[in-house]
Structure formats: structure tokens, C-alpha cells
Amino acid sequence: MKYVLAFLGIISFQLSNAQGLLPNGYDTSKRVHDLQLEGSAFIGSTGIRNEIMDRFIFGGEITESMKDRSLSSKATSYRMGAGTHVELTYRNEQAALFGNDKWGYLIKAGADYLGAIRTNKSIFGMLLKGNASYLGESISLNGTQFNFIGFQKIGFGLIHKKTHANIGLNYYNISDFAQGKISSGYLTNAPNADSISLATKGNFQYSNASFFTKGFGFGMDGALYLQINEEGHSPAILQLKVSNLGFACVSQKVQHADLDIDLHFKGFNFQELLSDQSALRDKDLLLDTIGVQTSTKTSYVMLPALIEIGKIVDQMNSKRLQAFYGVRFYPTLANLPLIYGGAEYRIGKHLHLGAHASYGGFTQFSGGMYLHYEGSKFNAGIGSENIVGMIYQKGFGQSVQCKLNLRL
Amino acid sequence: MMSTMFKYLLCLSMVLSLIACHKKKTSWSSNWELPLVLDTLTLDKYINDSTLAVDASNYLEVNLTRTLLDIGIEDLVTLKDTTISQSFNIAASNFTVAPGTSITNQIEEHQINVEDLELKRIQIAKGKIHLKVYNPIETDVIFTIKLPGVKKNNVDFEQQFIAPMGTNAVPGQIETELDISDYTIDLTGAQGSSFNRIQSQMIVVTSPTGPSVTIQNSDVFKVDASFKAIKINYARGYFGQQILSDTLIERIDLFRKITGGTITTPNASVQLEVINGCKVNAQIKLTQIKSENAQGTQVNLSGGAMNQNVPINPAVGAWNNYTPSTQAIEFNSTNSNLNAYLENLGDAHTFGYLFQLNPWGNTSGGWDEIFQTSRIQLKLKAQLPLVVGVDGLQIRDTFDFSFQNKLESSHIEKGTLLIDFTNGFPYSAGFQLEFLNASDQNLFSIVSVGGIESGLAGFYNSTYGIFTQNSHVELTLTESQAQQLGEVHKIVVKGMFNSPNPANNQNQAFPIPEKAFLSMKAKAKITYQTKM
């Protein structure tokens, strides 16, 4: 067991050069003792190139030329997301749960870390280059938003043996939490740096508790498979899948900051610099003076649910070439719905090769590939949803996914 | 077999590929330009606050008043907590008295403790009297306590008690505390010619409704009257030959920061003014006036009226219209070494004085008076043109400093402080910053590029009606210096001031215009390395 946990840990923390989801195949064979381990990691961006995102993830210096290349993007709204996911699931479709022969069960454990930022090119540019490049400009802060959450979950669910539809309830431990949003605001740098004006409204929350558990939550996972029969064509399998749909209560040292700032700063006066009673010597007074109200209270937040609907590959279909397509999105994060479509080709008896294209999510256009081995007792897959980004440093995003399945 | 091996190889390759990733810190440099300071220094707040004034030509002059000594009635006349007791017992024993019998009606005189003072009349501003009576016989007794000469609204103080019956061993007691604020006390005694005397009268009558009782000669009827926390707002009498002496040190913090250079102060003069609001003769002797500068150089003021007894006349008039007497003692460059004293730029000034009341004894026949508002004050006054020349005057100030600037985390790579000045003072200045470590060793110094030029070197500014000059000063922190910022514990700011004549660049004394100002606009250009 400890080796399994160690492996999970390694994947969740080190697999940051990967993420994404292999298209789920639909397998109608009965799973008696089925153990599935899946892991993924992804980063995606609309304007920030991989060479910079790689530095954020793996470290290294971000050079001026890297900044300039990312800032040369025509996109003005910059979205960026990153996440890691690891999940171990045990399925038993032989057992008769509660004496009912129609239902099997599943037990799962997993961990997810997800972060998303929505901002604009000027803010991103100012963070990387400083305000010296933005003197005389007024930068909009409207709609800037970020979310970050880390959680671990354990869950139990039911499997409908005939359709393989499943539904489960999970308990979540919230280990990391931060979010913020600026509803409106402008930051203006005077042309000769004589003044800085900041007018903004928004709020931030984060938990700075030192212990691992910062809150808890309850949510559900589920999948529903519909077979659509069309005359003259093979039946198509439509999947509706929901993950982490629920709520969390983050109660440990959650710092709230409500911003209502209207500041025009031209410089401190001598009284402010030298007086012992100056607001500069009292952080709370300073925040209050500039319009930041701070408090510590519990936050109730939605978990970062993932909703996906689409046609999936039927593993029992004898056709070598099958199409898949669909849409998925995180409704609580700063992203667009990801629309994807592709095809899978079976090479020989066990090997499947897939390719797809997508638009949305945390990036714009991307193309992906995967390779999937399907055996009688064992299957495994590895792939990427952004194959260009995997090999091209000037791309916008990267993704790696892997899945391991044992039928005991 | 093959499939099992394939499984293990796949897992191993995944784990190895993940472990191989080693996270370095993400870093990038960014350039920031930020406003830091925007302010204008003027001498406005010192004008008309007993420091500076404006002369007829719209130049500043020193009009300085500092009070060195300020005493009043509370310092000269104090009445300590005093208890007066009056008691009575009959001469014979076994004396039976009927109800309603008057046992005693006596007036006594008591001495109050005011040391060498001879007080004839005082008025109580605030205070209380605590009364306690003792009844040694087995019937209730009516005590009437009067204080003849202790009056309010021209009525003598009088208080009556019914003391419960008691015994010789355990007298019946009753006590109370009364406010005697605003009472006047005649301290001349029953004859009206004495001093420090207060009278009391005790009248004792047995209860008209009680039983007849037998009194022994050992039965003592007694009243205690205690004066507590008495504050006086008027006193008349002879206040003795009290001597008040002290040595005061006045500090001028700014001058402590002067480390070199000279100033010139032509036509200086200062006055010490003694104001006597009491109707009492006095004299004062200035025993010491000493200036000590930051380098320890001392200059004693000599000449003038130093170490001489200066008589001070009493105030004249009544309590509601008295006029204090004023005695001025002047020091100037003619009668003393005042110029040398001022040019020493002392940050510590020591004033010693000896003040004596009634140096010639009781010449008023006991008619000295001190009123509630009477003050005896010693004031330092200076009224002179603010014409000061400086020649290489160095001012040094030290500020504590703490800044984490570690290369392994986010830090400032380098920076420049850019300051624009507009100067309306007739002085020029240059700056140097020294950065000291915990052992006060100089890690590095930054000398300003450019300096503040004298306002006289500029142009006439019609907005303010003075000459002003714009200057630009830069202080640059190099990369190697920035790397040492984390070790800096103190920053020493050194300024060197001159008062050059634009015509010949020779330093000389200039008057300072009323509207003189120094405006400062500072901003920072910083290259910041973020590491995360």
C-alpha cells in the first residue's frame, strides 16, 4: 500500500509536465476486480508561451526576449490554467451490493491541484517587465480573477452493472485555497512616474494556516452512458460525466480582504515618513487608509467541478476507426468551455492510436495524440492534449496524461 | 511474462522521469519607477509660535520666547495635613447632670505648621475637614463645633453632632468629612495680631430627652478636626526668605547633528526677563548659562548681569487688578560674549539660577500677598534678524535600517533615487549616505550627483516673491551595493551646507525670506529581481 501511496504522491507533485484526460473508452465487459490509476497534468494559456510557463513550473530565468515573445501575442485577454490530477479507483461489478444484483460498487481516492488566472496583457506585462514600460498608460484591472485549490478525496459509489453508469459521493480534504476577483479597477502610471493612481473594487481570500487540513467538503462524481442508434450507422456511445460537483467549507485562518481603493499616490510627506504615529508603521491602519478591509472568517466555495459531455470510443466496436468529440469545462474557474473532436485508429489487436483537436479551456487551438494498449488483464495509455506545446517552447500550453488499468 | 515485465518497465520509466525533474527558482527582472516623497519644507509652523516672526521687509526674524521658570502660590505656600484637637473634662468626680445640661463652651487656639512662613490669612481653593467627636458618658450628647475665623460668605464654620452614649473606656463616637473649599481662614488668632493661629470652639450639652448621668473627672469629651489635601489660592502674611535654585538643561536636537562648520550671527542679542506677579520683594542671580555642542566644546556666557543679584520689585494692585513687575536682563555682543556663545552651536544649554523671596526681610509688615493667578516667571527672549551665514556646516543624522535583500530570494538588483528640488533658502547643500553594518562599520557610501543650489543662484520667482533655484540630485545604488543591503543596520545621512554669495561664491550671512521654502520630489528607479 505504501508503494501505491508513494507513487500517487510522486505523480501528483512531480507530474507537473503532464495533465489532461485521455478520451474515455466505453468497455462493456464486466469488471470483477478492476484497479485503475490515472494521472494527468496540464498547463494552458492564451497568451503566455510555454517557455515562460515552463520557468514558472520547473524554474529558470525568464529573459527579456521570452517576455517580449509572450507579450507580442495578439490576445488581449490572458487566461492561464494549470492542474495536476491523480486518482486510484477500485471497481467491482461482480458483487451484489445490498443484495441487489444490478449494482456493483467502486471505491476511489485521489488528489487534485487546480489553478486558473484570467487577466489581460498589460497586467501580465507589468508584472514581468515592471511599470517602467507602462508609464503614461492606464491599465484596466476589470475582470481579473484567480482561483487555486488543492484537495484530496476519498469516495464510494455505485455502478449500474448493465450500463456501467456510476455515481459516487466523496469526502474532500481542502489542503490549499486562494481566490480573488477584481470587479472593476484601473491602475494608472503618470508619464514621468510622478504619481500612481489605483481605483479598484474586489476581494481576495486565502488560507494561511500552516496545517495540512484547511477545510472539508462533500461532492459527487458520476458518469452516464447513452447508446444512440442511428440507422445505417453503428451505435454511438454518449457519455455525460461529472467530477467534483459539490461544496467545501474552508474554515482555517481564511483571510478575507475587501478592496475599495481610490488612491492617487504622489509620494509620502515627511510627516508620514518620520512620525512614529504614521500609518506606514501600522499595517492594519495602512490597509484601512487605502481602502482595504481585512477579516478572518470561513469561506464556503464550490469545488472545481468538471463537466464533460461527448461521444466516446466504443472499445467493443469492431471498427478500426472511430470518431470522438465533445465539450467539457470547469464552471467555477476562469476558462472557456473546451470543444474537442478526434479519431481513434486501432493498430493490430491491442494498440490504439488517437488524435484530436480542441479549442477553448485555458488556451485556444491545440492538437493532441494518445497511444493506448488494451490487453485482457492490463491496459495502459499515455498521451497529450497539446502535442505541439510538448515539443515547441513557443507554444501555448502543455499536457501529459497516463492511465494504468489492471483487471485482477 | 512479457506483459508483467512491460508493466514494471512502464511504471519504472514513469517514476524515473518524474524524479528527474529538479525545480529551480523562477526568476525575472523588472524595472519600476515609483514616486517616493513629495513635500515642501517651510518655516511657517515656527512663525508666530514664539520662535520666528516676520519683519517689515518680509524677512524672518527670531522672536523666541522660552519659559525657564514658572512658579505660583502652590510652590510658595503649602499647608500640610493638620489635625487640631480640643478636649474637656470636669474637675470633680461623681457629678450628676440632668438632661439638657451644658457641660462646656470653650474656645481654643491652635498653631498650624507652615514652617518659616507667617500667614495671616489664607483662602482655601480646595480641601476637606474631617471631624470626629468622642462622648464618654452614658447618655447622648450634643456637640457643637465652631471654627471662629473660618468663614464662607461671612459665616463661621459650624457643625453640630449628636454623639451616641458611651463609656469612659469605650466612648461613643461619630465622625464626618466636610468640604471646606472657598473658605477663608483668619490666622491672626483671638487677638487679631498673631499669625499661623486657628481657633476652635466646642459646646457640649447632654441630651434633653436622655437620663441623668454621673460624670467622673476622668471622662474626656473630645473633638478632632483634620484639614486634608488643602490647596490655597490666596495667602497674606510674610512668606519668609525662601530660596529657589535649580539648574535646567534645554536641548536643541537639531544642533546635536552638527558635526562641523561655522555660522555667523551678526547683531545678536537675547534677554532674560523676570516677571513677578506676587506682592513680595525678590531677587534673582543667574549662576550659569553654558552652551555645549556635539563635539563637547563648552562656552560659558559671561559679562552682562551674570552672577549678580538682580532685585525684583513686587507686583502692585489688588487681586483683581494687580500688575506684575518685570525685570529684563539683556545680553548682547557689547556687554557679553553672546556671539561666541551662539556660534558654538550648542545642542545643550544649561541655565542655573538662584531666586530668593524677601532678601531684605519682612519689610512689608506681614502684608506680602500671593493671588491665585500670581506667577513668578523667568523667560528667555530673543528678538533678532534671522541672518545666518554657514560655511561648510555639516549635519549628520542616523536612521535605523532593516531590509532583506537576499540574492536567493526576490531582491532589488540596483536602483537610483532621483530628487528634484526647488530651493528658496539662501543656502546650498550636498549629500552623502553611509551604510553601516551591525558593528557600525561603513559598508559603502553613496555621494549625491549634483546638489541643492542656493535659491539666490536662481531666478526671481514672482509667485512667491523670492529667488528660487531648481536642482536635480541623483543617488545611485549599484548592483554590488544592493547585494550588501541586507547587512545594513544604519544609514547615516550627511549634509554639508554653505551660504554662497552668487556674485563671488564666498559664504556670507543672508537674511531668510518669509516665503522661503524647499520643495522636494523624489522618485525611485528600481530594477527588481523576482524569485519564486
pLDDT tens-digit series, residues B226-260: 988 899 999 999 999 999 899 989 888 777 877 77
Secondary structure (H, E, C), A251-275:
CCCEEEEEEEEEEEECCECHHHHHC
ipTM of the complex: 0.78
Q: Which residue of B has its CA nearest to A53?
A: B26
SS3 at position B427: coil
By Cβ distance, the residue of A56, A190, A267 closest to B37 is A267
Rounded to the nearest 5°, which phi and psi values hold at B229? 50, 50
Average pLDDT over residues A392-406: 78
How far is CA B437 from each of CA B397, B432, B445, B495, rounded to the nearest angstrom?
16, 17, 12, 21
pLDDT for position A28: 60
Interface check for A62 against chain B (CB to CB < 8 A): the answer is yes
pLDDT at A339 over 60: yes
Test A127 with B23 for CB contact under 8 angstroms.
Answer: no
Q: Which residue of A has its CA nearest to B28?
A: A62
Average pLDDT over residues A205-233: 88
pLDDT for position B148: 92
Measured CA to CA, the distance from residue A285 to residue B355 in angstroms comes to 50
Average pLDDT over residues A347-359: 88
DSSP B166-213: --SSS-EEEEEEEE-TT-EEE-BTTTTS-SSEEEEEEEEEE-TTS--E
**Nearest CA among A154, A294, A299, A145 for reference residue A214:** A299
Contacts of B35 in chain A (CB under 8 A): 190, 193-196, 265-267
Test A268 with B14 for CB contact under 8 angstroms.
Answer: no
What percent helix, strand, coil does chain A show, rounded to 5?
A: 15, 55, 30
Contacts of A404 in chain B (CB under 8 A): 10-11
DSSP B72-111: EHHHH-----EEEEEEE--SSSSEEE-TT-EEEEEEEEEE
C-alpha cell, B134: 468622642
B294 confidence band (pLDDT: 50, 70, 90):
confident
Measured CA to CA, the distance from residue B24 to residue A299 in angstroms comes to 33
Contacts of B19 in chain A (CB under 8 A): 10, 14
pLDDT for position B443: 94
Contacts of A378 in chain B (CB under 8 A): 3, 7
pLDDT for position B22: 54
Establish, for the pair of chains A and B, how many residue pairs have beta carbons separated by less than 8 Å.
101
Contacting residues for A127 by C-beta, under 8 A, at least 6 apart: B30
Test A67 with B28 for CB contact under 8 angstroms.
Answer: yes
Contacts of B23 in chain A (CB under 8 A): 57-59
DSSP state of A142: T
Whether the CB-CB separation of A215 and A152 falls below 8 Å is answered with: no
Interface check for A276 against chain B (CB to CB < 8 A): the answer is no
Whether the CB-CB separation of B43 and B350 falls below 8 Å is answered with: no
SS3 at position A392: coil
A98 confidence band (pLDDT: 50, 70, 90):
confident
pLDDT for position A30: 63
Within its chain, how far is the Cα of B9 from the centroid?
Answer: 85
Smallest CA–CA distance, residue B26 to chain A, in Å, is 4
pLDDT for position A396: 78
Best to test chain A binding among B2, B6, B14, B45 (most A CBs inside 10 Å):
B14
Smallest CA–CA distance, residue B322 to chain A, in Å, is 44
Test A268 with B18 for CB contact under 8 angstroms.
Answer: no
Contacts of A190 in chain B (CB under 8 A): 35
Contacts of A196 in chain B (CB under 8 A): 34-35
Q: Which residue of A has its CA nearest to B8?
A: A404
Average pLDDT over residues B25-45: 91
Measured CA to CA, the distance from residue B100 to residue A69 in angstroms comes to 117
Test B35 with A11 for CB contact under 8 angstroms.
Answer: no
Contacts of B531 in chain A (CB under 8 A): none
pLDDT at B424 over 90: yes
- A30-39, B204-213, B337-346: which has the minimum mean pLDDT? A30-39
- Dump pLDDT digits (tens) for B191-216: 889 999 999 898 999 999 999 999 99
User: Is residue B51 within a helix (H) or strand (E), and if so which, with residue range?
Assistant: none
Test B10 with A404 for CB contact under 8 angstroms.
Answer: yes
Contacts of B407 in chain A (CB under 8 A): none
Measured CA to CA, the distance from residue A212 to residue A195 in angstroms comes to 42
Measured CA to CA, the distance from residue B56 to residue B511 in angstroms comes to 13
**Nearest CA among A88, A46, A65, A55 for reference residue A336:** A46
- Dump pLDDT digits (tens) for B371-403: 999 999 999 888 777 788 888 888 888 888 888
Contacts of B414 in chain A (CB under 8 A): none
Test A270 with B7 for CB contact under 8 angstroms.
Answer: no
* Percent of chain B whose predicted confidence (pLDDT) is above 90: 57
Whether the CB-CB separation of B355 and B244 falls below 8 Å is answered with: yes
Among A104-108, A205-209, B50-54, the range with the most confident prediction by mean pLDDT is: A104-108
pLDDT for position A99: 82
Contacts of A67 in chain B (CB under 8 A): 28
Measured CA to CA, the distance from residue B353 to residue B376 in angstroms comes to 13
Average pLDDT over residues B47-73: 84
Interface check for A129 against chain B (CB to CB < 8 A): the answer is yes
C-alpha cell, B35: 514616486
Best to test chain A binding among B30, B42, B408, B529 (most A CBs inside 10 Å):
B30
* Percent of chain B whose predicted confidence (pLDDT) is above 70: 95
- Dump pLDDT digits (tens) for A260-300: 999 999 999 888 887 777 777 788 888 888 899 999 989 99
Residues β-bridged to residue A202: A182, A259
Q: Which residue of A has its CA nearest to B12?
A: A7
Interface check for A280 against chain B (CB to CB < 8 A): the answer is no
Average pLDDT over residues B47-68: 82
Contacts of B32 in chain A (CB under 8 A): 130-132
pLDDT at A8 over 60: no
pLDDT for position B158: 92
Chain B positions touching chain A (beta carbons under 8 Å): 3, 7, 10-11, 14-15, 18-19, 21, 23-28, 30-39, 41, 521-523, 525, 527-528
Test A14 with B523 for CB contact under 8 angstroms.
Answer: no
Smallest CA–CA distance, residue B297 to chain A, in Å, is 30
pLDDT at B110 over 70: yes
**Nearest CA among B393, B409, B406, B480 for reference residue B445:** B480
pLDDT for position A23: 53
**Nearest CA among B309, B490, B485, B491 for reference residue B413:** B485
- A318-322, B304-308, B497-501, B517-521: which has the minimum mean pLDDT? A318-322
Contacting residues for A2 by C-beta, under 8 A, at least 6 apart: none
Amino acid making up residue A41: A
Smallest CA–CA distance, residue B7 to chain A, in Å, is 8
